[in-house]
Homo-oligomer: A and B are copies of this chain.
Amino acid sequence: MAILVVGSVAFDAIETPSGRRDRCVGGAATYFALAASYFTPVRVIAVVGEDFGPEEESVLTRRGIDTRGIEHVPGKSFFWSGSYMKNLNEAQTLNTELNVFQSFSPKIPAEYRDSEYLFLANIDPVLQADVRGKMPKVKMVCGDTMNYWIRDHQENLARVLEHLDALLINDAEAKMLAHENNLVLAARRILAMGPKALVVKHGEYGATSFFGEQAFLGEKCRTPFRAPALPLAEVVDPTGAGDSFAGGFFGYVASQPQLTPAVFRRAMFYGGVMGSFAVERFGTERLQALDPKEIEDRFALFRQLSHLD
Binding site for B on A (CB under 8 A): 88, 181-185, 187-188, 202, 204-206, 208, 210, 223-228, 231-235, 262, 265-266, 269, 301, 303-309
Contact B262 A308 (CB under 8 A): yes
Q: In the complex where A223-B301, A223-B304 touch, is A206 in contact with B208 (Cβ < 8 A)?
A: no
Contact B305 A307 (CB under 8 A): no
Contact B183 A231 (CB under 8 A): yes
Contact B184 A226 (CB under 8 A): no
Residue in B closest to A202 when the chains form the complex, CB atoms: B205
Contact B266 A226 (CB under 8 A): no
- Expressed in whole angstroms, the minimum distance between the Cβ of A29 and any Cβ of chain B is 29
Instruction: Enumerate the 8 nearest inter-chain pairs by beta-carbon distance, A residue then B residue, closest first.
Output: A205-B205, A184-B233, A226-B228, A184-B231, A265-B308, A226-B306, A224-B231, A223-B304
Residues from chain B with Cβ under 8 Å of A181 in the complex? 88
For A205, give its contact among B206, B224, B304, B308 (CB under 8 Å): B206
Q: In the complex where A183-B204, A205-B206 touch, is A305 in contact with B224 (Cβ < 8 A)?
A: yes
Contact A308 B269 (CB under 8 A): yes
